[in-house]
Amino acid sequence: MKLECVHCGQTRNWQQFIIKCPCGGRLEVKQDVTGLDGEKLKGIFRERLGERMSVYASGVWRYKELIFPELPEDRIVTKYEGNTGLYAPETIRKSLGIRGLYFKAQSENPSGSFKDNGMTVAVSHGRHLGYTRFACSSTGNTSASLAMYAAMGESSSYVFVPESGISQNKVLQTLAYGARVIRFDGTYDDGIAFLERHAKDLGLYVCNSINPFRIAGQKSIIYEAAQYLNWELPDWIVVPGGALSNVTAIGKGIEDLWTLGMIPKRPRIALVQAEGASPFHKMMAAGAEELRPEPQPQTVASALNIGNPPSWKAARRVLEFCRGVTCSVTDEEILASKQIIDRSGIGCEPASAASLAGLRKLMAEKVIDKEETALCILTGNLLKDTQVLSGMMEHERMVRSDLTVKGTERWL
């Protein structure tokens, strides 16, 4: 495994980790999977499904050969992340009129979001290199995940959290795991810029998705979905997009499976952004060469409140590889889809519901055909954002009762 700069192409080994190449480019993990035997791997991954309390019981480290083969097992910090549900909600499928529909609930991860898939790898790597101080900029899910793994690894975490536009629950979760929370006036993007400039001097190991080990771990989301579906993925993978780490990781994961002949066809990716924070979609729709950052991103889906997504170049490359499309959806569309997902019993945070909102929109626009199949990625847990929930709460569904059988017609 090597780290390669996406800008100048310079490579370094994974022990010589830095968050940004001296030329200013971002680093990517380059792993040559061509020597691996896809069929043999399927057998190994199948056997590991029976593991309990070993690192291979994790739904990330089950795929270690494709993620970080060099890392010694005893350096892994795991909470048996991954292993999340794949659901086929029949009522929603029927109401959409699509041939097949799945939800992959990354919200069922130990800290309640998909960040755990990547964080276990980043924190394990950092600790192996000898770091004891970990940091991130966050709208809340990344910080909660980092704080949890840092605590598991008996290390410290320092998280930079914007003063506004984020969910208080996530900050409380982060504090509860013992992180030092540094609040600031600005956006997630400002926090990233600060860490890129100062983390090295402060001795901090950065755990945002600009860290390529996060992306390597998040590839497991699509490996797991493929394994659960007997190595045959649906026609479309629908992914919400803020910082764009998920779409990047899923695209790279698909590329690995395809290169190794482990899947018979390459699914397409649909990337969905919230309208008030959609610089990537705007760039793609305009056929522009460069992303124009949005200084004031604004959406009810707080996890998507990102105006300058760090992974946009990598995301564009994977969309090319997967013949991807992009779209944006309004806050109203997001909340309407969230209600559908919540009432199916699966539940999710607002950002996750952008996937279903996007699927509905792309079907209405006939980009996705009803004869096709789709898998929506749900990124965060329903209880991650109770502020939004109380705003949505329908009080007419609550009634008072004096606990006598009289008046039951009001609620029965």
Given the rule CB under 6 A, which residues bind ligand LJ64HWYM? 115, 138-142, 188, 208-209, 242-243, 245, 303, 306
Question: Are 153 and 130 within 8 A, CB to CB?
Answer: no
Question: Are 126 and 149 within 8 A, CB to CB?
Answer: no
User: Which CB atom, from 128 or from 214, has the smaller least distance to ligand LJ64HWYM?
Assistant: 214
> Judging by DSSP bridges, how do beta strands 100-105 and 180-184 pair with one another?
unpaired
In the complex, what is the shortest distance from the CB of residue 139 to ligand LJ64HWYM, in angstroms, rounded to a whole number?
4
In the complex, what is the shortest distance from the CB of residue 130 to ligand LJ64HWYM, in angstroms, rounded to a whole number?
23
Question: Are 193 and 213 within 8 A, CB to CB?
Answer: no
User: Which CB atom, from 106 or from 208, has the smaller least distance to ligand LJ64HWYM?
Assistant: 208
CA dist., res. 60 & res. 109, Å (int): 11
User: Which CB atom, from 92 or from 243, has the smaller least distance to ligand LJ64HWYM?
Assistant: 243
| Cα 339 from chain centroid (whole Å) | 21
User: Which CB atom, from 242 or from 358, has the smaller least distance to ligand LJ64HWYM?
Assistant: 242
Q: How far is CA 329 from CA 95, 96, 336, 409, in A?
A: 19, 17, 11, 39
In the complex, what is the shortest distance from the CB of residue 213 to ligand LJ64HWYM, in angstroms, rounded to a whole number?
12
Tokens of 256: 């690995």
In the complex, what is the shortest distance from the CB of residue 161 to ligand LJ64HWYM, in angstroms, rounded to a whole number?
8
User: Which CB atom, from 187 or from 373, has the smaller least distance to ligand LJ64HWYM?
Assistant: 187
User: Which CB atom, from 145 or from 227, has the smaller least distance to ligand LJ64HWYM?
Assistant: 145
Tokens of 363: 């079907």
In the complex, what is the shortest distance from the CB of residue 388 to ligand LJ64HWYM, in angstroms, rounded to a whole number?
14
Count the alpha carbons within 13 Å of 57 in the hemisphere toward its beta carbon.
Answer: 9
In the complex, what is the shortest distance from the CB of residue 208 to ligand LJ64HWYM, in angstroms, rounded to a whole number?
3
Identity of residue 263: I
Those residues whose C-beta lies under 8 Å from the C-beta of residue 353, and which sit 6 or more positions away, are: 301, 334, 335, 337, 338, 340, 341
